[in-house]
Structure 1
Amino acid sequence: ATRDGVDILLLSVGPNEPPEDTSTFLGAFDIFMLSAWRAGVFVAQAVGNNGPSPYSVVSYSPWTFGVASCRTDRKYPATLFLGDGRKVRGIGLSGSSWGDGMIQHKLVLANDAAFPNATRNMEECQSPEAFDPAVVGGSVVICTFSAGFRSGTSNLRAVIQTAEALQFAGFVLVASPAYGDYVAQPIPFPVPGILIPRTTDAQVISDYYEEHTTTRRDGEGGIEFHGRAMIGDGRIASYEEEAPIVSRFSSRGPDFMDRNKTPVDILKPDILAPGEQIWAAWSPMSATEKILHGHNFALISGTSMAAPHIAGIGATMKQKYPSWTPSMIASALSTTASKHDNRGQPIMAQGSDPFTTHPAAPFGYGAGLVDPLRALDPGLIFSSGYEDYIGFLCSLPNTAAEEIRTATGGSCESASLTAASDLNLPSVTVTALSGNRTTRRVVMNVADKPETYVAGVNPPEGVEVGIDPAWFTVAPGETQTLEIKLTATRPRDDFSFGEIVLTGNLNHIVRAPLSV
């Protein structure tokens, strides 16, 4: 790739776990990426889909740019219209039920339409043979997200096949009170369908169904279905959601240096970008996702969808600034990122349970949500060279100089860093602050005019932060060294977060996360 003149590498694949016999930074994969950096190649790497657990990132090294995933403000809402006029919101990417959403159909619970001898996942609608075609044909059928879906033995594709085979007017996949809410993603259905992932909404449907369904007592038995429903078109996007929100699956920091998850003074992820429900090209063979067979495009979620956004923005920056190194591009992306959502509030993150959120932190979003326009005019940048990265490796505890030499060809004899936290990154991370520690950062003016900056701090809880000088003027192409003194004022068992803000008189604002 470097011989071909490549400027940007996108890594949507990578190791699923740290190497067994060496540091995370000295594994073959990360050494290859260090070589790419040395050749001037900016590397955007997906941080992994093992969230929301801490210490789950698989992008480790400071010479790669780790990308986390968030959802956007776009949503594909679907609606189930009940016969009494109530509307139940859900998720679906299909057309409306027959009649273009103007005609209501008989509403049938799958269990009530099954043959007496049917036993296989009746409520989950997994087998056409289980149901009476005379009852379910032309009906909106209620299927349940139950034990089989939780265990992986049932799937949505089988629901669709059942609906197609028996000519349902549509299907409704409701959450089960016994198993709670479930996570639903919009998938293009070939038949009308809607997912109802919340138990509270499922209860509304259940109550209506029970009110409008009776069992005959004339000696012949049987059920009379008086409930009616229709499924609205779910293919029309809306753009009103709170965003960004860090995706549940997006891997979280802190960064670590070995299989024992020993934390290291590096911020990971580096940046946040859209990675949830992203339209992407898709192989119609669809070997791994049978439900998408035959589709050329699909809505895909993952940090592998977020990383391409950063690769594209990085390419735009390289085009504008051909002489910029990878660390300069990374710095500009980081220092101009936003920590607030589209409503002006701090970014939130999805929790372990469906539909739960909590305030996000740098170990979820890095420096924040990427801002492509601001990144093209960052004002100041933090830059690191190849020898700085060798010095970083040499500063790591329990890492032999000979092992570093073997992996990189570099020597620790001239290494200048005494701690990993001294690497000139657009962030400061200290994993074990005791007493006080002083670190330094060097910024360079990449604008075309001299600018005066004032240094401000939002300190992490339990930490006092001082910056010297408190203000400075720097000419284009010139640098300024900042001395940052961190003092622990109260012991803590976990990280706390803040930021350094450098505000210029020409409207440049440079932000650097603090994680202590």
Structure 2
Amino acid sequence: MKIMEKYTNITIIITLFFFNRYAVANEAVSTTKLYIVYMGEHSYPDSDSVISSNHELLASVAGSFGQAKEAITHHYHKSFRGFSAKLTPEQAQKLRETESVISVFESKTNQLHTTHSWDFLGVNNVPQNNAKVESKSDTIVGVIDTGIWPESESFNDNGLGPVPKRFKGECVAGDQFTVNNCNRKIIGARIYPKGYEAKYGPLESFNATFFRSPRDSDGHGTHTASTVAGSVVNNVSLFGIASGTARGGMPSARLAIYKTCWFVACTDADNLAAFDDAISDGVDIISISGSSLNPLKMDKFHPVIFARDAAAAGVTEGEASLCFNGTLDRKLIKRKIVVCSGLGIDNPDVVVREGGGVGMVLSIDSLFGLNEYSLQYVIPTTVLDRNEVQVLQNYVSRSKNPTAKISPTKTILNATRAPKMAFFSSIGPNTITPDIIKPDITAPGVRILAAWSPVSIESTAGRSVDYNIISGTSMSCPHASGIAAMVKSHHPSWSPAAIKSAIMTTANAMDNTKRAILQNPSDSPASPFNYGSGHVNPIAALDPGLVYDFGSKDLIDFLCSTRAYATQIQMLTGKKVACKSPPVPMYDLNYPSIGVANMNGSVTIVRTVTYYGHGPAVFDSKVELDSPTGVKVKATVKPKQLKFKEAGEKMIFSVSFVADKTIHGSLVFGSLTWSSGNKYKVRSPIGLNLASAIQVRGK
């Protein structure tokens, strides 16, 4: 097996996965816990040999072959070698000391994090190479999540050709899910409950709705799958909100479903088993995150009362203002709109409704950014910040009979600056490899309408829906995955690194008003630590002009720069490794961004670009830096101009940075852009953390 050559993208994910969790490996607890034992590449002839070897290894510390078999929950035997097992801390430590083991760490539990979102990205204007790209796409997207609701119209297979022959996955039947639920859209479906049950007990022991099958009882997996590759469905909305045509980023892509999440929790052990299968199954992209009714409204005005003025006997005004259960006097709130304070996390709308109230005003502190979530309520509700509520308070105080009316929610397009970074976005800097700017990219993730599981009603105010609006980084992930699938379909021979480069270098660092992207809730300018390269631009990503590519050799140099032992890297990659001395700097990985975590005076970074245009082209460089007060940094690009004769040609350039004046710890952001007339603008973000200035003789 040659993971580094065939699965560079998956190797990156797995490598960082293990490095990120290495720090938690030395916890000591008296009881057994679920651990993951990772041994990297393997050269065994078949899976049975790997499994037998795993049993042998664990038996050496567990005491017997039988105990080893009983302890193991998952074997990772297809794309890499390892297993998950219930171990004591002492057993885990003994395995760490075994020469063939790269790392042992506890299996952690991960929590899962608009019809018009793809329109906003301009996907409806994407030129198709030919009919085959849309109707007969062989791009396969693996979705690791809570499963899927196969009956959703978003997963119809109209117009799709036969399942790609290279796909080796399975359609696993189970509770209310048969092999007939798979089709030419949902081409595979598997489940992974063992890690969850080893940690928390049988699924049946929980008093909650679930399906021991790929069927989705939560809705999250259905939502993400339809966002990345949902079929085109007309006239979709959530109670009339965000009405339009629902579609995924790549409607013609195929879906392979890997259900690892149960009751909104997913264990590392199950996720890794899904990764192992997905790689072996032949997926191209892995995405892992984490109606006829009308909106609720009022037809007439109703009296308004602040919850603090409706406190039940023995309840303080402060307690009543939060609208907790049992804090309100039913006689005082009956047939009224009640003003409640707080985040609304304890279902105040339910309390108001059960007390006879007809509507709710939820008063929140705008700093919480709650308005970025699409919360749903069982009675007509509007959310106001504290300043807006003060205006309402003044009205109520002045009026003898204050009344109000809550109108139905409306969808308004192009009314505000967008995109804007949500307060819940994952932000940098990168704590593991600080010379790589993170995040890479930003994509739509606020108020996204997509397919839903109708049995999941907790987030829909108790109502069964086929489509739902939710927010989170989990919504951004399938947008990025969908764009990657689009690029893959247009450039099937491109490496994962090239696809990533195309998406990153064509992203927008400006919003729809041509001004800097802002961040919520402060409305201050965002930086690459907020949005990475910028907001995704699918159309431009299909034809980026220049590409920053890298392969297995570059990744080995990168791993060497982390100071990992050569033996560890060899076990990880399956290749004999001799790290260079000194190692290639981490910042010289041929990445589409430029980051230097500890710049002492000056530094020079080197990059290689490959031209993917039509005919000869000339690219001119431009560096823009935004230095804080008291800091001065100069940048020099050599050569300043790149001249290409034909597609596929590669060229090397360098960028030198010199800090003439600095303050220790200063952050300098900026960008390097290679432009070829009005055709291409290939932009890379820059992030420099200055440690000192250059020492100039005579000063």
TM-score of Structure 1 vs Structure 2, range by shorter chain: 0.7 to 0.9
Amino acid at match of 2:357: F
2:330 is matched with which residue: 101, 123, 132? Answer: 132
Check 1:401–1:330 CA distance in 2 against 1; reply closer, same or farther (3 A cut): same
How far is 1:297 from its partner? 3.1
2:592 is matched with which residue: 409, 417, 426? Answer: 426
What's 2:634 paired with? Answer: 464
Give unmatched runs, 5+ long, in structure 1.
47-75, 78-92, 214-225, 258-262
What's 1:69 paired with? Answer: none
Check 1:242–1:432 CA distance in 2 against 1; reply closer, same or farther (3 A cut): same
Contact 2:350 2:378 in 1 (8 A): no
What's 2:351 paired with? Answer: 162
Check 1:128–1:298 CA distance in 2 against 1; reply closer, same or farther (3 A cut): farther
What's 1:57 paired with? Answer: none
SS of structure 2 residue aligned to 1:18: helix
How far is 1:456 from its partner? 1.6
Q: Supply the distance in 2 between the matched residues of 1:264 and 1:374 (Cα, whole angstroms).
A: 28
Amino acid at match of 1:234: T
Contact 2:334 2:356 in 1 (8 A): yes
Contact 1:119 1:130 in 2 (8 A): no
Contact 1:181 1:199 in 2 (8 A): no
Using CA pairs under 8 Å that are at least 6 residues apart, name the structure with larger relative contact order, 1 or 2. Answer: 1
How far is 1:419 from its partner? 0.6
SS of structure 1 residue aligned to 2:434: coil
How far is 1:119 from its partner? 5.8
Check 1:212–1:473 CA distance in 2 against 1; reply closer, same or farther (3 A cut): same
Q: Supply the distance in 1 between the matched residues of 2:598 and 2:465 (Cα, whole angstroms).
A: 50
1:480 aligns with 2:659: no
Check 1:310–1:209 CA distance in 2 against 1; reply closer, same or farther (3 A cut): same
Alignment root-mean-square deviation, CA: 3.8
Identity %: 28
Contact 2:441 2:536 in 1 (8 A): yes
1:95 aligns with 2:293: no
Contact 2:376 2:459 in 1 (8 A): no
Q: Supply the distance in 2 between the matched residues of 1:450 and 1:29 (Cα, whole angstroms).
A: 47
Contact 1:272 1:365 in 2 (8 A): yes
Contact 2:378 2:462 in 1 (8 A): no
Check 1:111–1:465 CA distance in 2 against 1; reply closer, same or farther (3 A cut): closer
Q: Supply the distance in 2 between the matched residues of 1:229 and 1:171 (Cα, whole angstroms).
A: 10
- Relative to total residues, which structure has the larger helix share, 1 or 2? 2
What's 2:571 paired with? Answer: 406
Contact 1:457 1:498 in 2 (8 A): yes
Contact 2:40 2:572 in 1 (8 A): no
What's 2:478 paired with? Answer: 308
1:297 aligns with 2:467: yes
What's 2:498 paired with? Answer: 328
Report the more deviating stretch, 505-514 or 117-126.
117-126
1:379 is matched with which residue: 516, 527, 545? Answer: 545
How far is 1:412 from its partner? 3.4
Q: Supply the distance in 2 between the matched residues of 1:514 and 1:479 (Cα, whole angstroms).
A: 22
Deviation digits for residues 50-76 of structure 1, max 9, x if unmatched? xxxxxxxxxxxxxxxxxxxxxxxxxx8
Q: Supply the distance in 1 between the matched residues of 2:438 and 2:369 (Cα, whole angstroms).
A: 29
1:193 is matched with which residue: 374, 378, 381? Answer: 381
Deviation digits for residues 373-407 of structure 1, max 9, x if unmatched? 111111111110111101111122x4222222223
Check 1:311–1:361 CA distance in 2 against 1; reply closer, same or farther (3 A cut): same
Amino acid at match of 1:404: I
Contact 1:451 1:505 in 2 (8 A): no
Contact 1:94 1:193 in 2 (8 A): no
Give unmatched runs, 5+ long, in structure 2.
26-36, 42-75, 81-138, 146-240, 243-293, 689-699
1:499 aligns with 2:697: no
Check 1:374–1:290 CA distance in 2 against 1; reply closer, same or farther (3 A cut): closer
How far is 1:248 from its partner? 1.1
Amino acid at match of 1:387: K
Check 1:391–1:230 CA distance in 2 against 1; reply closer, same or farther (3 A cut): same
SS of structure 2 residue aligned to 1:268: coil
Check 1:30–1:491 CA distance in 2 against 1; reply closer, same or farther (3 A cut): farther
SS of structure 1 residue aligned to 2:600: coil
Deviation digits for residues 96-115 of structure 1, max 9, x if unmatched? 22x2xxx2212222233344
Check 1:15–1:142 CA distance in 2 against 1; reply closer, same or farther (3 A cut): farther
1:514 aligns with 2:514: no
1:210 is matched with which residue: 384, 397, 407? Answer: 397
Q: Supply the distance in 1 between the matched residues of 2:18 and 2:460 (Cα, whole angstroms).
A: 24
Q: Supply the distance in 1 between the matched residues of 2:655 and 2:142 (Cα, whole angstroms).
A: 28
Q: Supply the distance in 2 between the matched residues of 1:332 and 1:324 (Cα, whole angstroms).
A: 10
1:341 aligns with 2:343: no
Report the more deviating stretch, 282-291 or 163-172.
282-291
How far is 1:125 from its partner? 2.4
How far is 1:128 from its partner? 6.0
Paired residues, number:
422
Amino acid at match of 1:429: G
Contact 2:382 2:406 in 1 (8 A): yes
Q: Supply the distance in 2 between the matched residues of 1:168 and 1:452 (Cα, whole angstroms).
A: 68
Q: Supply the distance in 1 between the matched residues of 2:558 and 2:141 (Cα, whole angstroms).
A: 19
1:390 aligns with 2:556: yes
Q: Supply the distance in 1 between the matched residues of 2:39 and 2:623 (Cα, whole angstroms).
A: 36
Contact 2:457 2:464 in 1 (8 A): no
Amino acid at match of 1:249: F
Contact 1:8 1:314 in 2 (8 A): no
What's 2:205 paired with? Answer: none
Report the more deviating stretch, 405-414 or 358-367.
405-414
Contact 2:330 2:356 in 1 (8 A): no
How far is 1:474 from its partner? 0.8
Deviation digits for residues 103-161 of structure 1, max 9, x if unmatched? 2212222233344345693222233673233x42222222222xxx5xxxx7352x222
Q: Supply the distance in 2 between the matched residues of 1:368 and 1:326 (Cα, whole angstroms).
A: 19
Deviation digits for residues 397-443 of structure 1, max 9, x if unmatched? x4222222223324431659621111111121111111322221111
SS of structure 2 residue aligned to 1:20: helix
